[in-house]
Amino acid sequence: MSFQSDKRDVAQIFRERLGLLISRRDQSFSAFADAIGIDRSALSQFLAPGSTRLPRAETLHAISRIAGVSVDWLLGLIASETLDGTAVPMIEIAETNETIDSEIIAAWHREALGYKIRYVPSGLPDLLRIEAVAEHEFADRTADSIAARERQSREQLDYLRRPETDMEVCMPMQRLETFARGMGVWAGLSSEIRTLQLATIRRLTHEMYPTFRLFLYDGRHQHASPYTVFGPKRAAIYLGGLYLVVNSAEHIKGLTRNFDNLIRIAEVGPDRIADYVERLEALTGEVRPAENR
C-alpha cells in the first residue's frame, strides 16, 4: 500500500472520529474550534469529504485533551476510546475461566450495543444451546462453570431481543450434521435431546430474525477459528482458556473482511436455516453401525 493511500485511510478515520466528537459536545462548531486553538475554516478543512489534511501534533493533542480520547484513537490506530487518555494496546491477552468468561463477554456485548456483532463459534452457539446439551458438552466442568455458561446464554438471548441489536453468526454446516448424527463429542447424547436441540435452533433462529442471522458454510472449502468482532470496538479470538483481544482498527477491519467472506461463500443463509435444520432432525433417529452391534 502506498504512503498516499495510507494517508487517505488515516484521514478518513480522523474525519469520522472528529465529526463524532463534535456531534457529542454541547457547543457550537466555532466553540469547538476555539477550544482546540484553531479557526473555524481550518476545522472545516479537516472535515471536508475526501480531504487528506491532518492537523499538527499540538492540535491533535488539544483535541485529545478536550474530548477525553487518545491520539491513537483519533488516528485509527486503536478501536477503543480511552476517556482517561491512556493508551490501549493494539493486541492483548485476556485469560479467563468458565465462571468469569460470561461476565467478560457480556461486558463486551454491552459496549458494542448498536453495532453489528460478527461471531464464529467454537461449537454450537451459546445462545442457541439447551441445558441438556451444555451438561453433555461440559461434563467435566464444575457446577459453577456450567451455571455461568447457562447465564451467558440467557443474557445473550435477552441482548438479542433488544431492537438495536444486530448479530450475524457463521459456522460450518458439517458441525450441525455431526451433532444431528450424534458423532464425535456428541456420541452418547440421546436422539431425543439432539432432536430437541435442533428444534430449538430452528425456533430461535426464526423468532430472532432479523436481529440474529445464522449462516452455514462448507467446512471442506474454508476454515475459520472461533472469534467475535464487536463492531468497530474490538475483536476477540478464542484460543481456549484465553482470548486474544484485538483493539487495532486495521486488524478489526481484517477480521471483518474475513467474516464477510464466510457469508459470501455460505451454502445456507438465514432464509433457509429452518428448512435445513428440519431435514437434519430426521438424522437424529438413524442407527449408526457402531450402535447396531
Cell 467435566, located at residue = 140
Cell representation of residue 157: 438471548
Identify the CATH number of the domain in which residue 47 sits: 1.10.260.40
63 domain residue, yes or no: yes
131 domain residue, yes or no: yes
Going from the C-alpha of 158 to that of each of 51, 144, 212, the distances in angstroms are 42, 21, 12
**Same domain membership, residue 70 and residue 96:** no
In tens, the pLDDT along 176-222 reads 999 999 999 999 999 999 999 999 999 999 999 999 999 999 999 99
**Same domain membership, residue 42 and residue 98:** no
pLDDT at 5: 43
| Separation CA 161–CA 213 (nearest Å) | 13
In tens, the pLDDT along 226-271 reads 999 998 878 999 988 789 988 777 788 899 999 999 999 999 999 9
**Same domain membership, residue 114 and residue 42:** no
pLDDT at 241: 79
- DSSP-assigned states of every residue in 100-139: HHHHHHHHHHHHTTTSEEEEE-SSS-GGG--HHHHHHHTT
278 domain residue, yes or no: yes
Q: Which of 19-28, 50-59, 161-170, 236-245 has the lowest mean pLDDT?
A: 19-28
265 domain residue, yes or no: yes
86 domain residue, yes or no: no
Q: Is the pLDDT of residue 292 over 50?
A: no
**Same domain membership, residue 284 and residue 198:** yes
Going from the C-alpha of 225 to that of each of 119, 168, 265, the distances in angstroms are 10, 16, 16
| Separation CA 234–CA 245 (nearest Å) | 7
Identify the CATH number of the domain in which residue 156 sits: 3.30.870.10
Point out the domain boundary residue: 41, 74, 107. 74
**Same domain membership, residue 97 and residue 168:** yes
85 domain residue, yes or no: no
Point out the domain boundary residue: 44, 74, 104. 74
Reported confidence tier of residue 293, pLDDT bands at 50, 70, 90: very low
**Same domain membership, residue 44 and residue 113:** no
Point out the domain boundary residue: 30, 47, 74. 74
**Same domain membership, residue 101 and residue 59:** no
Q: Domain range for residue 198?
A: 91-291
DSSP single-letter state for residue 268: B
Q: pLDDT: is 154 or 56 the higher one?
A: 56
82 domain residue, yes or no: no
* Residue 196: burial class (beta carbons within 10 Å; 0-12, 13-18, 19+): middle
**Same domain membership, residue 95 and residue 27:** no
**Same domain membership, residue 236 and residue 191:** yes
CA angle 44-46-51, nearest 5°? Answer: 110
Cell representation of residue 218: 462448507
Q: Is the pLDDT of residue 291 over 50?
A: no
**Domains in the chain, number:** 2
**pTM of the full predicted structure?**
0.69
pLDDT at 129: 92
Phi, psi of 171 (to 5 degrees): -155, 160
- DSSP-assigned states of every residue in 83-102: TT-----SEEEEE--HHHHH
**Same domain membership, residue 45 and residue 159:** no
In tens, the pLDDT along 143-184 reads 666 666 666 667 777 777 777 789 999 999 999 999 999 999
**Same domain membership, residue 117 and residue 57:** no
**Same domain membership, residue 166 and residue 278:** yes
120 domain residue, yes or no: yes
| Separation CA 84–CA 231 (nearest Å) | 22
In tens, the pLDDT along 62-111 reads 888 888 788 888 887 776 665 444 455 677 887 776 555 667 787 788 77
Average pLDDT, the chain: 84
Q: pLDDT: is 175 or 23 the higher one?
A: 175
